[in-house]
Amino acid sequence: MTFEEKLERLKKIVEELESPETMALDSSLNLFEEGVGLVRSCKELLEQAELRIQNVTEQVTEGDESDPMEDIENGE
């Protein structure tokens, strides 16, 4: 499941839990547990993406004292 799919499922879980319809306690707990698992999974994916960005940024800046974002903004 992709990050985007996980977020979409998480939104649906929140909607179900917030709906005014009466839901059995067991069903609510199952949805809550699934949601917590999705949050953890999304957090891990975001942390991995952050590390990848840091690695790429470090590779770009190794031996180059200029700011890579400044180069991008200047069209370089």
Q: What is the mean pLDDT of each run of 10 residues along the chain (76 residues)?
A: 96 92 89 97 96 90 65 65
What contacts 38, CB < 8 A, 6 or more positions away?
6, 7, 9, 10, 13
Instruction: Enter the pTM of the model.
Output: 0.70
Query: Is 38 within 8 Å of 12 (Cβ atoms)?
Result: no
Residue 22 pLDDT? 73
Residue 59 pLDDT? 86
d(CA 36, CA 47): 17
Q: Give me the half-sphere count of Cα atoms (radius 13 Å) on the Cβ side of residue 68.
A: 12
- In the chain, the DSSP E strands lie at none
Residue 4 pLDDT? 96
CA dihedral 49, 15, 34, 2 (to 10 degrees): -30
pLDDT digits (tens, 9 = 90+) for 24-39: 999 999 999 999 999 9
Residue 7 pLDDT? 96
Enter the tokens of residue 61: 């800046």
